[in-house]
Chain A
Amino acid sequence: MIKQDHITITINGKRYKFSVGDGYGEVPPNETLADTLRNRLGLTGTKISCNEGACGCCTVIVDGKDAVASCMALTVEFDGREVLTVEGLEDPVKGLDPIQQAFIDEYAFQCGYCTPGIIMVAKALFINNEHPTPEQIQEALSGNYCRCISQYTVLRALNKLAGNEDAELANIVRANDEIENPIPVRQVLHLSPYANGSSSSHSID
């Protein structure tokens, strides 16, 4: 291996030059990419959970296509490469990535600790395949741990994005939906024109 005294990595579109070594502030050769992202750059959206590549919480996208477990990868190996983390998904002009928006719309998370990893794996899948089948989505996420059980809503969100409208694993039947003309206790309320502002005698203007 050729010894280098520095490496350059592009992270979320920004170039970072790191000195390699054991001195203060330098990146030691045994530092993982997850630690560099979290501890040096403050990109704490990438989570470390199992720290052995089994749970997917630390997933980032490398060179615009590959999902990589950053807790199992050494930072020095990424010289000259591009890394995308969950913080880099939102476009400052266009707004949230469609996957992020779908996760909000479908409430595809609970505690949210594993969510960045799941989103990054899903992003890598959609980069490589715009219309994955429901099976391909489930398979792609099989290395992602979620213990709160948001799997059904995650799959719903991603299947909608992939155009698999009919793919639905969970079916929640609400008794009230089956009742014709339920007895309501009060009239439907309409949003008031005052919802977003009202002035009073205390107003400065």
Chain B
Amino acid sequence: MSEKNYGEKKFEYNYRDIVQPNYRHIGKYMPRKEAKDIVTGKATFLDDYSVPDMIYGKIKRSPWPHADIVSIDTSKAEALEGVRAVITHKNMPQKWGLGLPVQRLLLEPRVYHVGDLVALVAADTPEIAEEACELIEVEYHQLQPVYSADEALAEGAPQLYERFPGNHVDNGIKYFQPDGPWWQIIRGDCEQGFKEAKYIAEDKIEFNQMPVPGAPETPSVIARFDGIQPDCVHKDGVPNFTIWASSQSAHIMKLMAEGRIPNSNVNIKTFNVGGSYGNKQSMMTAALSASMLAMATKKPVKLVLTKEEQLMAYEVRLGSTMYAKVGMDEDGIVTTVEGKWLVDTGAVGDSVQGQVGVGLGEAQLVLAKCKNWYMDSEIAVTNRQQAGIVRGYGGQELNSCLERLLCAPMKAGNFNPLEVFKKNYISPGDCFTWRDGRNWKSRSSFFFPEAMQKAADLFGWDKKWVGWNKPYWVSEDGRKARGVGMGVIGNADISEDNTEAIVRIIPDLVGKRASRVVIETDITESGMGTRSNACKIAAEVLNVPVERVIITEPGSQYNPSNYGLCGSRGVITTGKAIANAAMEAKKKILERGAIYFKRNVDQLDTKDFMVYVRDNPEMQVPMFKIWDKEMSVVGYGKHLEMFDVPSCVSLFVDVEVDLETGHTEILDLATGTDIGQIIDAKACEMQLEGGWGSACIDTATFEENVLDKQTGRIMTSNMIDYKWRTFNEFKPFNAYVMESQIDSFMFKALGVGEVSGAAGASATLMAISNAIGADVKEYPATPAVVLKAMDKI
């Protein structure tokens, strides 16, 4: 039960009182449309696809983190038989930029990170292209590198780009903040807030290992130059490209590519995506490299990054450092947050301002009762590999610092963190500023605290929580100790970005068979089942079997606009556009039915391509008996961006630490959420379990990109040295899921995939600290870190 006060009046909300719909398809498991293709190996991914007359691209990459290219000799490479083009900064056909805002060119006489682009090669086979890369002779003059935001923003630091004086990236950009840049939470009076606080703590926490989300399929594209088309605006014409990509969003890729290739028109086509976790979206370096080679050779160019390139030079999580002072009152309510968040975006800043906005937004969801804020942020470019978008989108990187920092005042007041999180988390009516810089008021669930409590019960929190820095169990020989920790996070992005869809009920031309529904929208499939759920939603609205609903191939050219699978928003926003479109189609056919039956529209309904009278279902007519011969019934629907239904995921971690070796093992995990209405039961389960993956929970113990500061090289750029959780290391997982019918769209669902594991890292550090009886504040808490915290080394 939850309570809320509105002035004098007190309302009680009982989960029991929520009306639970009884859907035909929604909420049930239905095998995905492509399920059989996936288990039989027929599903097509980018590298399984070829284009006629295709050649292959490879990239010559920099061995140094920061250097000038003194000389570059491509003559041997060009002379190799089968080589079609070698492009360097000297002979680029056009000057294409990188970053948002554009801060550099694709190829420059200077390199900014190990793995940066030095030359592009196209050849008849991948082997020839690779050999040609090795034949390119380059002389470098090394420059002083810089590897952290802290260092990069300091006075006298080596400078990367002229566009960013002091390595300081623009605080905001118009695309993310249409009313003007927003990068600080400034509200209330911090001085007053600290006066009201009983417990105050100040600290610096870093989450700077920039781990790898690690999609199994590497970023890859095929680019084809389709010539220059005469144009009424640009007198030189418009260059046309077709790009097939392993991207999770054709829309974002088109948006970015057309911004980088002057006056271009780019047609993006996507396939099944072999994992992305937000990480394979614009893929600009790969897409622009292949496109430039295609333009130079006039042939389609396939560029498939190797696993090593993906780990060494592709986009990773943001680096994050937080200096903050937090005040908490005697009831455990946070009264003040004052501090600064430093963000390391690596050598290219691309979309980072959106991530900073979301991170700051999420901080306010967790500490929604705090009235006094001064949280500044600064973004820096450094000589590390580019940071990009990863599931959690700034929120996880901030949360890993902020919630670890929050432990200090909680510990000082000897609070049970479960009670603190329950009290501080956002409830309906609380306000926050989101990444668009606008103020929003939550109209989300009343039951987040209840979901936290139920998950805690499932986990056995009340037995295992024995106080701060205290193990709840120590082995008889005193060698092993166990402790628990928790974290909470939420995200308001589930309704972000505008999206549209068309739903057509198409007639069966021959008859004696049911008709079909076609959904037209641009949504790809990267594992979450979004395309199948889209079909399910249309089937539910029109009350037809799901197998009678099909969806158009993803691609930017011929579909209505859809922002794609970013922000864990696909099912909600695509679903809303489709539900609205299906409703419009349904309304049209009911209006015909009303004339046919001489009844009011409200008295009619549809089922399995029939229109019937609700009070007298015997009165029914096939839709196409009353519609124009062989014509479709067409509906259009859209979703417009908003940010007022935040989600919430709480995570509980139980760890066992070997006190002699410092090795930590997670014993089990529990999570709790109110997810609105479940659209697909099994897909929902895997969204929650997904927190183990894509560089989330395990970034607390062993996942990290190890940087050799002597050379600037990543020492973990292969799948043996980069540590990941294997099948035999998976532990018991418990989840408590409430479905309180949140007013997000017709089917009342709330997404959680974005943040399902995002609070896991801070929770794990809390658990380790409790197990060993000493504060651990460093990510990842490797055996060395743990032993150091215990003063053993």
Q: Which residues of chain B from 533 to 576 have a CB within 8 Å of any chain A CB?
A: 543-545
CB-based contact B41/A173 at 8 Å = no
Residues in chain A near residue B48, CB distance under 8 A: 38, 44
B690 interface residue (CB < 8 Å to A): yes
Is B36 positioned at the interface, with any CB of A under 8 Å from its CB? yes
Minimal Cβ-Cβ distance residue in A for B684:
A172
Q: Is B330 among interface residues, defined by CB-CB distance under 8 A?
A: no
> Contact string, A151-182, partner B, CB cutoff 8 A, digits 1/0?
11111000000000000011111111001001
| B-chain residues with CB within 8 Å of residue A113 when the two chains form the complex | 45, 215-217, 272, 274-275
> Is the CB–CB distance between B686 and A153 below 8 Å?
yes
Say yes or no: B20 contacts A184, CB within 8 Å: yes
Check if B510 sits within 8 Å of A192, measured CB to CB.
Answer: no
Nearest-CB distance from A189 to chain B (Å)? 5
Q: For residues 56 through 104 of chain A, which have their beta carbon under 8 Å from a beta carbon of chain B? A: 57, 85-87, 89-90, 96, 100, 103-104
Question: Does A147 count as interface, using CB distance less than 8 angstroms?
Answer: yes
Is A48 at the interface (CB under 8 A from chain B)? yes
The answer to whether B625 has its CB under 8 Å from any CB of chain A is yes
Whether B371 is near chain A, meaning CB under 8 Å from some CB there, is: no
Question: Considering only CB atoms, which chain A residue lies closest to B674 in the complex?
Answer: A175
Chain B residue at smallest Cβ distance from A194: B608
A205 contact set on B, CB distance < 8 A = 511-512
Smallest CB gap from A192: residue in B: B608
Q: Is the C-beta of B473 less than 8 angstroms from some C-beta in chain A?
A: no
A49 and B42 contact, CB distance less than 8 A: no
**CA of A176 to CA of B676, assembled, Å:** 11
Q: Decide yes or no whether A143 CB sits under 8 A from chain B.
A: yes
Query: Given the interface contacts A179-B16, A202-B625, does A169 sit within 8 Å of B730 by beta carbon?
Result: yes
Which of A104, A110, A150 has the most chain B CB within a 10 Å cutoff?
A110
B610–A194 contact, CB under 8 A?
yes
Give complex CA distance A195, B610 in Å: 9
The stretch of B21-29, B434-442, B633-641, B780-788 that contacts the partner chain: B21-29
Interface members, chain B 660-700 (any A CB < 8 Å): 678, 681-683, 685-686, 688-694
* Contact (Cβ within 8 A) B39 A96: yes
**In contact, A170 and B732 (Cβ under 8 angstroms):** yes
Interface contact A183-B41, CB-CB below 8 Å = no
CA distance A4 to B571 in the complex (A): 56
For the complex, give the distance between the alpha carbons of A176 and B608 in Å. 28
In this assembly, does B331 line the interface, its C-beta being within 8 Å of a C-beta of chain A? no
On whether the beta carbons of A138 and B728 are closer than 8 Å, the reply is yes
Pairwise interchain contact A119-B545, C-beta atoms closer than 8 A: no
Query: Which A residue's beta carbon lies closest to that of B729?
Result: A142
| Residue tally, chain B, CB below 8 Å to A | 96
Q: Determine whether B287 belongs to the interface, using a CB cutoff of 8 Å to chain A.
A: no
Q: Are A45 and B454 in contact (CB under 8 A)?
A: no
In the complex, the answer to whether A175 meets B454 with C-beta atoms within 8 Å is yes
Bound CA span A135–B694, Å = 25
* A100 & B527 in contact (Cβ 8 Å cutoff): no
Chain A residues whose CB sits within 8 angstroms of the CB of B272 once the complex forms: 111-113
With known contacts A106-B682, A112-B272, A115-B38, A198–B724 Cβ distance under 8 A: no
Q: In this assembly, does B630 line the interface, its C-beta being within 8 Å of a C-beta of chain A? A: yes
- By size class, the interface of chain A is 35 or more
Interface string of A118-156 (1 = CB under 8 A from B): 010000000000000001001101111111111111110
Complex interface: chain A residues within 8 A of B29 (CB): 107
Q: Are A148 and B693 in contact (CB under 8 A)?
A: yes
Least Cβ–Cβ distance between B630 and chain A, in angstroms: 7
Q: Are A111 and B526 interface neighbours, CB within 8 A?
A: yes
Nearest residue, chain B, Cβ from A119:
B39
Q: Assess whether B39 is in contact with A104, with CB atoms less than 8 Å apart.
A: yes
B155 vs chain A, min Cβ distance (A): 41
A55 at interface by CB-CB < 8 Å: yes
CA A86 – CA B272 in complex, angstroms?
A: 17
Q: Does A25 contact B (CB under 8 A)?
A: no
Q: Are B216 and A139 in contact (CB under 8 A)?
A: no
Tell me the bound Cα distance from A49 to B691 in angstroms. 22
User: Among B165-173, B645-653, B735-743, which stretch is in contact with chain A?
Assistant: B735-743
Residues of chain B in range 694-742 having any CB-CB distance to chain A below 8 Å: 694, 718-720, 724, 726-739
Min CB gap B51→A, angstroms: 15
Q: What are the residues of chain B within 8 A of A182 when measuring CB–CB?
A: 16, 20
- The verdict on B43 contacting chain A, using a C-beta distance below 8 Å, is yes
Q: What residues of B have a CB within 8 angstroms of the CB of A143 in the complex?
A: 726
> Which chain B positions have C-beta within 8 A of A176?
20, 739
* B513 at the binding interface (Cβ < 8 Å): yes
Known contacts A111-B217, A198-B609: A52-B307 contact under CB 8 Å:
yes
Q: Let me know if B90 is at the binding interface, CB within 8 A.
A: no
Closest chain B residue to A177, Cβ basis: B737
Contacts of A188 in B (CB 8 A): 22
Give which listed residue, B22, B34, B736, contacts A185 with CB less than 8 A.
B22
Q: Would you call B216 and A146 a contact (CB within 8 A)?
A: yes
* Nearest-CB residue, chain B, relative to A139: B728
Flag if A155 contacts B730 (CB, 8 Å): yes
| Contact assessment for A114 and B216 in the assembled complex, using a CB-CB cutoff below 8 Å | yes
Q: B44 within 8 Å of A by Cβ? A: yes
A136 to B418, CA, bound (A): 37
Q: Which of B525, B682, B736 contacts A153 (CB 8 A)?
A: B682
Measured in the bound complex, the distance between the Cα atoms of B23 and A188 in whole Å is: 8
Residues of A within 8 A of B510 (CB): 203-204
A87 and B41 contact, CB distance less than 8 A: yes
Given contacts A86-B41, A96-B39, contact A145 B216 (CB under 8 A): yes
For the complex, give the distance between the alpha carbons of A204 and B48 in Å: 41
**Residue B81 lies at the interface, judged by CB distance under 8 Å to chain A:** no
User: Nearest chain-A residue to B720 (Cβ)?
Assistant: A54
Q: How close is A4's CB to chain B, nearest CB, in angstroms? A: 22
Q: Are A48's CB and B625's CB within 8 A? A: no
Q: Tell me the B180-221 residues at the A interface (CB within 8 Å).
A: 213-218
Q: Which of B31, B32, B39, B719 contacts A54 (CB 8 A)?
A: B719
Contact A147 to B727, CB < 8 A, known contacts A113-B216, A153-B685, A175-B454: no
| Contact between chains at B726 and A44 (CB < 8 Å) | no
Shortest CB distance B732–A (Å): 5
Verify A147–B213 contact, CB threshold 8 A.
yes
Asked if B273 is an interface residue, CB under 8 A from chain A, the answer is yes
Would A175 and B730 be within 8 Å (CB), given that A111-B216, A202-B629 are in contact?
Answer: no
Q: Which of A90, A116, A147, A184 contacts B275 (CB 8 A)?
A: A147
Cβ B21 vs Cβ A184 within 8 A: yes
Tell me the smallest distance from the CB of A55 to a CB of chain B, in Å: 6
Q: Which residues of A contact B17 (CB under 8 A)?
A: 183
Q: Are B720 and A52 in contact (CB under 8 A)?
A: yes
Instruction: Verify A179–B726 contact, CB threshold 8 A.
Output: no
Contact B685 A152 (CB under 8 A): yes
Residues in chain B near residue A185, CB distance under 8 A? 19-22
A184 → chain B, closest Cβ, in Å? Answer: 4
Contacts of A150 in B (CB 8 A): 686
Q: Which residues of B contact A149 (CB under 8 A)?
A: 686, 689-693
What are 5 inter-chain pairs, A to B, with CB distance below 8 A? Answer: A51-B306, A52-B718, A135-B728, A173-B735, A194-B607
Given contacts A52-B307, A184-B20, 4 further A-B contacts (CB under 8 A): A50-B719, A107-B31, A112-B39, A112-B527
Q: Which 5 A-B pairs have the closest CB atoms?
A: A45-B41, A203-B511, A113-B274, A111-B527, A110-B527
